[in-house]
Structure 1
Amino acid sequence: MTQLILFNLFNGIVIGAFYALMALGLSLILNLSGVINFAHGGFLAVGAYLAYTVMPYVGFWAALAIAPLMTAALGLIIERIAIRPLYGRDPLYSLLLTFGLAFMLQDGTRFIWGPQTLPYEIPASLNRPISASLFFLTGYRLFMVALVVVVVVALFLFLKYSRPGMRIRAGVSDLETVATLGVNVRWLRSLNFAVGIFLAGLAGVLAAGMLGLEPTIGDSLIMPSFVAIIVGGLGSLPGTLLGGILIGAASGLTAVFFPSATEAVIYVIMGLVLLVRPRGLLGEEGRVQ
């Protein structure tokens, strides 16, 4: 029983890491630009398929770096053409646009790579368990968690110490003042959007090795990622990270005792948090007003 609990808890933490990585990208875009990006799951799938495409030529490790960058470049093009004209307008417009874009990305991957599940190979050295007793602790799962930790730390350092990062944080607080100080707000929003899409692409590359590669790979991750933002609190990146890990671990533990409620528990947690603390665990006052 103990081993079963450990297995599901660790599996939940791994899935929670995906939620957190996705949710951080969503939160970055939402906080600065006010865009509720429903196409985030589609970008995740694109990142996974791009890694699958370039992997035979450059190998797994290079694909892990190249595919998220290619996904971010695609995100920049879409942001420039379709999303930028909607900045400053009612958020409903961008919500409807990204909702339609999500279907376009999913159908595009299905058209290019086919609707069937494709084999996604990871290095054999990462696919072995670290011990016979802890069979569920494979090198790949440990690597995924470690990489997510590194990326999250790098993101927070970028936002705290780099000049573009400080401008992004200032823009979240008061974008109009940042603009009056001479900062190119269009460039700032584009950079922020690209970073958010990069995180989605990276999550896709990592998720494909665990969940399999299919056009709907992002569908099971997008809604829990939004829940992670709500649970952690709008406007709080640490809260978003906490929310993702929390709902992932809770879902994993629930699978031990109530397997049919693994998805429901995510929304139960969201409901309880909103009842007790409407702005989320680490959310800023006024974000829900």
Structure 2
Amino acid sequence: MTQLILFNVFNGLIIGAFYALMALGLSMILNLSGVINFAHGGFLAIGAYLAYSLTPYIGFWGALAVAPILTAIIGLLVERVLIRRLYGRDPLYSLLLTFGLAFMIEDGTRYLWGPETLPFTIPDWLASPLSSDFFFLTGYRVFMVVLVLVTVGALFLVLNRTRLGIRIRAGSDDLETVSVLGVNVRILRNLNFGLGIYLAGLAGVLAAGMLGLQPTIGNELIMPSFVAIIVGGLGSLPGTLLGGLLIGVASGVTAVFFPSASEAVIYVMMGLVLLIRPRGLLGEEGRVL
């Protein structure tokens, strides 16, 4: 029983790491641009499929490094051509646009790579269990957790120690004042959007190594990622990270005792948080959902 609980807790932690990466990108885009990006899961799928196509030529490690960058470049182009036109309008317009874009990406990946599930090859030594007692503790699972932690640490370092990051944080609080101070808001929004999409692309490559590839790979992660933002608190990136990990672990633990409720518990947590603390666990004062 103990081993089963540990398995589900660790598995929940990994899924929570995916939620956190996705939710951090979503939160950055939402905080600065006010765009509810329903196509975020589609960008995750793009990152995963690009890695699949690149692996035969540059190997797993090369694909892991390059695919998220290519996904971010696609995100920069999408923001410049489509999303930018909707700034300042009712958020419903951007929501509908990204919702339609998500279907376009899904159909596009299905057309290019086929509808069937494709295996994504990872190095053999990463796929091996680290312990005979804890068979679920593979090198790849540990690697994913470590890489997510490093990525999140690097993201917070960029946001707190670089000029771009400080401008993104300031723009999230008061974009109009940042614009008056001479910052090119169009470029700032573009780079911020690309950074958020980079996180989705990285999550896609990591998810492909564990879940395999299918056109709907991002659909299973997008809604829990929004829940992570709500639980953690709108406007709080640390809260978003905490929310993603919490709902992942809660889902994993629930799967031990009530498997049929492993998904429902995520939304139950969201409802409880909204009742007790409407702005989220670490949400900023004055920003209520």
Give TM-score scaled by structure 2 length: 0.99
Aligned-residue identity in percent: 78
Partner Cα distance (2:85, 2:167) in 1: 21
Partner Cα distance (2:64, 2:212) in 1: 16
Question: RMSD of the TM alignment (CA)?
Answer: 0.6
Aligned match of 2:19: 19
Residues 1-289 of structure 1 mapped to structure 2, 5 A cutoff: 1-288=1-288
Once the two structures are superposed, residues 138-157 of structure 1 have per-residue CA deviations (whole angstroms, 9 ceiling, x without a partner) of: 00000000000000000000
Once the two structures are superposed, residues 214-260 of structure 1 have per-residue CA deviations (whole angstroms, 9 ceiling, x without a partner) of: 00000110000000000000000000000000000000000000000
Partner Cα distance (1:253, 1:206) in 2: 22
The AA in structure 1 aligned to 2:250 is: A
Partner Cα distance (2:97, 2:207) in 1: 26
Residue 97 (structure 1) shift: 0.2
Once the two structures are superposed, residues 93-122 of structure 1 have per-residue CA deviations (whole angstroms, 9 ceiling, x without a partner) of: 000000000000000000000001112100
Partner Cα distance (2:218, 2:21) in 1: 12
Partner Cα distance (1:194, 1:257) in 2: 40
Residue 60 (structure 1) shift: 0.3
Residue 7 (structure 1) shift: 0.3
Partner Cα distance (2:288, 2:74) in 1: 32
Partner Cα distance (1:151, 1:124) in 2: 24
Partner-residue secondary structure (3-state), 2:82 = helix
**How many positions carry a matched residue from both structures?**
289
Unaligned runs of 5+ in 1: none
Residue 285 (structure 1) shift: 1.7
Residue 159 (structure 1) shift: 0.2
The AA in structure 2 aligned to 1:92 is: L
The AA in structure 1 aligned to 2:31 is: N
Once the two structures are superposed, residues 25-58 of structure 1 have per-residue CA deviations (whole angstroms, 9 ceiling, x without a partner) of: 0000000000000000000000000000011000
Partner Cα distance (2:279, 2:211) in 1: 32
Partner Cα distance (2:277, 2:118) in 1: 43
Partner Cα distance (1:155, 1:257) in 2: 36
Partner Cα distance (1:142, 1:90) in 2: 43
Partner Cα distance (1:151, 1:127) in 2: 21
Partner Cα distance (1:93, 1:65) in 2: 34
Unaligned runs of 5+ in 2: none
